[in-house]
């Protein structure tokens, strides 16, 4: 069946009747744990496109009832809503035009790029994906050069400026002409006429989606580059029409913000960021050296204390694993039990338990459990990640209690 949305992709409203309505569920998604309960509504005809051919489904309204999903089931388009509708009732459909026109631009843009990539370089399209932010065409080639991308983009936009018509034709399934057009085949459950989308003089492609009526409706296409695809495939990423304008607006806003932050012009942003990165690396190196010195001094201060205990506990927010291990190396683990932690006191961090091997082997897993973390031990060390650093006091009490009982037993 060919729907009204396919006969007239530009229609924004349409009056039809409810053919059927039955209870249904929409599978849980987006973090939800329970399916969404509602109704599957079939209309006599629809301007809301059901997903298919790589194009996502439309959104819109039946009267004032939001349509949350449109799918194709055999010859019917099924609309998921949360309010029941009486069969036979006349209803007004309204399409979410911003979403629809975006899909039209991306889909027609894909047809144009696919055709020219084949004509210019012999690159066949094996699949495509119309995403929320960008569209990806999978090309049957292991690589595409930067020069080929530039040439393809120039040719694509030249065809847009030439205002070439895009024509939709319908054929019967047994029409021999459909054997001559670009296609990945008809779905098993297809019924009714076969639609062929023609870009005059460039491409004829079997397709069920919604399209513009002239290449000038695409406004502009920007090829963002290529990515490595599946085996021996290359993904070509692009934006068409309003997505290009939105991308330019985001880039311009970012450029203005960077200009204010970096206090220089846009052409100097990259060099300014490089200088900042080098400064940060130098500061990080100096900080690490200071932390190492601090670790040694901390250990020496403990060792020089004549009344030091058998348990050494230390927490530092800005330390790291090396900081903790330097302290353990300097103090030694033969006669002292060390519990060291680094990170945010009220969040996650790292811990190290060091001491006599037998003691560490007994207490290490218990320490990890108290800190709600994970760790591993080897000889005189047990270290890992903790998710509840706020429980350090409980660990310290455990260690003191263990040492106290051990002393009494001795």
The pLDDT of residue 190: 55
The pLDDT of residue 335: 82
pLDDT tens-place values along the chain, 410 residues long? 789 999 999 999 999 999 999 999 998 887 778 899 999 999 999 999 999 888 999 999 999 999 999 999 988 999 999 999 999 999 999 999 999 999 999 999 999 999 999 999 999 999 999 999 999 999 999 999 999 999 999 999 999 999 999 999 888 776 766 666 665 555 555 566 888 999 999 999 989 999 999 999 999 999 999 999 999 999 999 999 999 999 999 999 999 999 999 999 999 999 999 999 999 999 989 988 998 999 999 899 988 888 788 889 999 888 889 999 999 999 988 888 999 999 988 888 999 999 998 899 989 999 999 999 999 988 899 999 999 888 889 999 999 888 877 653 44
* Backbone phi, psi, residue 200, to 5°: -50, 125
The pLDDT of residue 98: 97
What's domain 4-95's architecture?
Answer: Beta Barrel (2.40)
Helices (H), 183-320: 242-262, 269-303
DSSP assignment of 153-193, as one string? HHHHHHHHHTT-BEEEEEE-TT-GGGGGSB-S---TT--SP
**Cα separation of 166 and 52, whole Å?**
20
The pLDDT of residue 267: 93
Top CATH class of 309-407 equals alpha beta
Q: At which residue do the structure tokens 């631009």 appear?
A: 105
Kindly list the domain boundaries of the chain, sorted by start residue: 4-95, 101-249, 309-407
CATH, range 101-249: 3.30.980.10
Residues 6 or more apart whose CB falls under 8 angstroms from that of 14 comprise 4, 45, 46, 47, 92, 93
The pLDDT of residue 332: 87
150-152-153 Cα angle (round to 5): 65
The pLDDT of residue 187: 52
Sheet containing 135-139: give its strands across: 125-130, 135-139, 234-240, 221-228
Residues 356-361: contacts with CB under 8 Å, at least 24 apart = 356/380, 359/402, 359/406, 360/333
pTM of the full predicted structure? 0.76
**Cα separation of 141 and 159, whole Å?**
24
The pLDDT of residue 192: 66
The pLDDT of residue 25: 93
Q: At which residue do the structure tokens 């970012």 appear?
A: 254
**Cα separation of 314 and 349, whole Å?**
13
Helices (H), 269-391: 269-303, 321-331, 357-370
């Amino acid at each position: 069946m060919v729907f009204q949305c396919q006969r007239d992709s530009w229609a924004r409203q349409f009056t039809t009747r409810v053919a059927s309505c039955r209870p249904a569920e929409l599978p849980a998604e987006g973090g939800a744990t329970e399916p969404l309960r509602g109704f599957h509504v079939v209309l006599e005809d629809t301007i809301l496109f059901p997903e298919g051919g790589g194009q996502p489904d439309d959104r819109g309204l039946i009267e004032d009832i939001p349509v949350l999903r449109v799918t194709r089931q055999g010859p019917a388009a099924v609309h998921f809503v949360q309010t029941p509708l009486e069969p036979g009732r006349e209803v007004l459909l309204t399409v979410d035009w911003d979403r629809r026109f975006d899909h039209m631009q991306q889909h027609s843009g894909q047809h144009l790029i696919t055709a020219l990539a084949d004509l210019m370089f012999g690159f066949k399209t094996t699949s495509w994906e119309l995403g929320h932010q960008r569209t990806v065409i999978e090309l049957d080639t292991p690589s595409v050069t930067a020069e080929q991308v530039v040439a393809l983009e120039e040719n694509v936009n030249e065809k847009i400026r030439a205002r070439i018509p895009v024509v939709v034709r319908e054929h019967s399934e047994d029409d021999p002409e459909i054997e001559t057009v670009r296609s990945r085949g008809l779905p098993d459950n297809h019924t009714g006429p076969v639609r062929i989308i023609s870009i005059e003089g460039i491409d004829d492609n079997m397709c069920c989606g919604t399209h513009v009526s002239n290449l000038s409706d695409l406004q502009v296409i920007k090829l963002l580059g290529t990515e490595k695809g599946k085996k021996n495939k290359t993904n070509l990423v692009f934006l068409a029409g309003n997505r290009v304008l939105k991308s330019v607006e985001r880039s311009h806003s970012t450029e203005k913000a960077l200009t204010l932050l970096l206090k220089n012009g846009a052409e100097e942003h990259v060099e300014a960021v490089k200088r900042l990165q080098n400064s940060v690396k130098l500061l990080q190196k100096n900080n690490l050296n200071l932390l190492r010195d601090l670790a040694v001094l901390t250990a020496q201060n403990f060792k020089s204390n004549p009344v030091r205990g058998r348990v050494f506990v230390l927490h530092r927010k800005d330390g790291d694993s090396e900081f903790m291990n330097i302290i353990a190396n300097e103090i030694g683990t033969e006669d002292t039990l060390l519990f060291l932690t680094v990170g945010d006191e009220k969040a996650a961090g790292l811990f190290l338990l060091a001491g006599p091997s037998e003691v560490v082997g007994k207490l290490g897993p218990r320490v990890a459990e108290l800190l709600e973390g994970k760790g591993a031990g080897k000889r005189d060390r047990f270290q890992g990640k903790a998710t509840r650093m706020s429980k350090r006091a409980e660990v310290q009490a455990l260690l003191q209690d263990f040492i106290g009982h051990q002393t009494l037993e001795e």
